[in-house]
Amino acid sequence: MMKPLLLILILGLIAGAALLAGCTSQPAPDTSVGGATTTTARMNEMVFLTEEYPPLNYMENGTVKGISADLLIGAARQMGSPVSAHQIRVLPWSEAYATALSEGNTVLFATVRLPEREKLFKWAGPLGSERKVIFSRMGDSPRIRLPADLNNYRIGVVAEDSADGQLQSLGVNRSQIVPMASVPALIAAMDKGTIDLWCYGETAGRYFTGKAKGDPGTFKVVYALDTRDLWYAFHKDTPDETVNAFQAALDTLRLQPDAMGVTEFQRIIYRYSGVSCMDQPPVTRDQVTGLVNYTAGEMERDAPGTIARINAGEHPFWDRENRALYVFVYDTDVTIVAEADNPRLVGVDMRGKTDVAGIPFRSRIVEEALSEGTGWVGYVWMVPEETGIYHKIAYFRLVQGSDSNPYVVASGMYTSCSPEE
């Protein structure tokens, strides 16, 4: 009688132990960016909507290309959720915009983040910026000195494009704004005389003009609107963790340098736009030398405190009114000890590392500072939050910090297209 009872008791203990183990065991931790399982599933189900707007996004030989398209693909890969080609659709802007508003699991890009659009989407970015301009025929001379003067002309825009809202915010009467389906339609309307001017992004507008007229300079810019940031606009029902994970991945592409000291964002921009000069550089020589000299004085007075303030992005080390003006500091081993624009670079050894064009400018700055004390070095770089690679020069100065360590303080400025400036 004892043996069956003992057997039942043993089996009960085994079953209880198994049940207890199942209740108390913990799932493996999720180590992915932004919650991989949910985010990956959502990204794989999404449709990404864009338009023909080179060099940001466009079709070439049946493949979607462009700065914003490559950033999208790169960020999705960074998340561990690759976006396949069939998920990206190129449509007329008005159709893409309407689809993104009405259908879930959609992302619209590249999109200007206007106040009236704010609550319609969830946003990730910015990925760059654009300047809307007003084009006229090359032989015409419209008199536009103030925004109110625009009311004397019929101005064509692409339907649902941000140009419409920007013009109205300047005080242009709605009756003077003529929405059309596409840029080719605007150009055709200019040829027919049914509109007097047309408003669109400058770079993309010249691209379409070249395709339609054979000469991208057929129209001239007679007025410039504000520069606006560009974003990825997620459908408003998209889970926050998906948008946040995409934002984190995008930030990594924008800010995290590779082994050569260049970010993936810079490489993408360089691939599509090369290197340019600036018509109106946002920083002057006096501002650069003034910032370097001020920072050098602060380093001599309190090096540790000044380094902390620079890395916190405090004004004036990163000018709150002009984000293109900022300071960076190296030690004599070419390691960054302070960087107002991108603190992710702090502590990185930059010896021999280059800009996107292959110029080892950091090593040159430190070498010339040690031999000459001060001077200028040329390189290429981006304007913070803008889309383009530009020629730049840095002013530098060797200084003895309050901690008795030598430092090289530097700041850069973009060079003008006019040699005399």
Write the pLDDT tens digit of every residue in 259-277: 888 899 999 988 887 887 7
Higher pLDDT, 324 or 367: 367
Q: Residue 227 pLDDT more than 80? A: yes
Q: Write out the H or E segment, with its range, that includes residue 398.
A: strand 389-400
34-38, 39-43, 180-184, 279-283: range with lowest mean pLDDT: 34-38
Average pLDDT of span 241-264 = 92
Average pLDDT of span 390-400 = 96
Cis amide linkage into residue 54, ω under 30° from 0: no
Q: Residue 146 pLDDT more than 60? A: yes
Angle (CA) 107-179-190 rounded to 5° is 125
pLDDT band at 22; cut points 50, 70, 90 = very low
34-43, 139-148, 162-171: range with lowest mean pLDDT: 34-43
Higher pLDDT, 120 or 9: 120
Crossing angle for the helix pair 240-255 and 36-45, nearest 10 degrees? 90
Domains 36-128+229-274 and 130-228 share a fold: yes
Question: Quick check: pTM over 0.85?
Answer: no
Distance CA 164, CA 180 (A): 11
Average pLDDT of span 25-33 = 37
Residue 414, phi then psi, degrees to nearest 5: -80, 145
Q: Residue 182 pLDDT more than 70? A: yes
Q: Residue 228 pLDDT more than 70? A: yes
Task: Report the pLDDT value the prediction gives residue 386, as an integer from 0 to 100.
Answer: 61
- Mean pLDDT, all residues of the chain: 87
125-139, 175-189, 362-376: range with lowest mean pLDDT: 125-139
Q: What percent of the chain has pLDDT over 70?
A: 88
pLDDT band at 384; cut points 50, 70, 90 = low
Average pLDDT of span 315-340 = 96
Distance CA 174, CA 112 (A): 20
Q: Which two tokens stand for residue 409?
A: 């303080």
- Domain 285-414 fold is Beta-Lactamase (3.30.450)
Most confident of 138-152, 294-308, 335-349: 294-308
Q: pLDDT (tens digit, 9 = 90+) per residue, 46-93? A: 999 999 998 899 998 889 999 999 999 999 999 999 998 889 999 999
Cα 160–chain centre separation: 22
Q: Choose the CATH number for 130-228 among 3.20.20.210, 1.25.40.10, 2.60.120.260, 3.40.190.10.
A: 3.40.190.10
Q: Residue 147 pLDDT more than 80? A: yes
pLDDT band at 2; cut points 50, 70, 90 = very low
Q: Which two tokens stand for residue 29?
A: 């931790």
Q: Residue 416 pLDDT more than 90? A: no
Write down the domain spans for the chain: 36-128+229-274, 130-228, 285-414
> 255-261 contacts: CB < 8 A, separation 24 or more?
255/342, 255/344, 256/344, 257/344, 257/345, 257/348, 257/353, 259/353, 260/353, 260/354, 261/348, 261/350, 261/353, 261/354, 261/355, 261/362
pLDDT band at 21; cut points 50, 70, 90 = very low
Domain 36-128+229-274 sits in CATH at 3.40.190.10
Instruction: Tell me the C-alpha to C-alpha distance, in Å, between residue 304 and each of 298, 337, 411.
Output: 10, 10, 19
Task: Report the pLDDT value the prediction gives residue 25, as an integer from 0 to 100.
Answer: 38
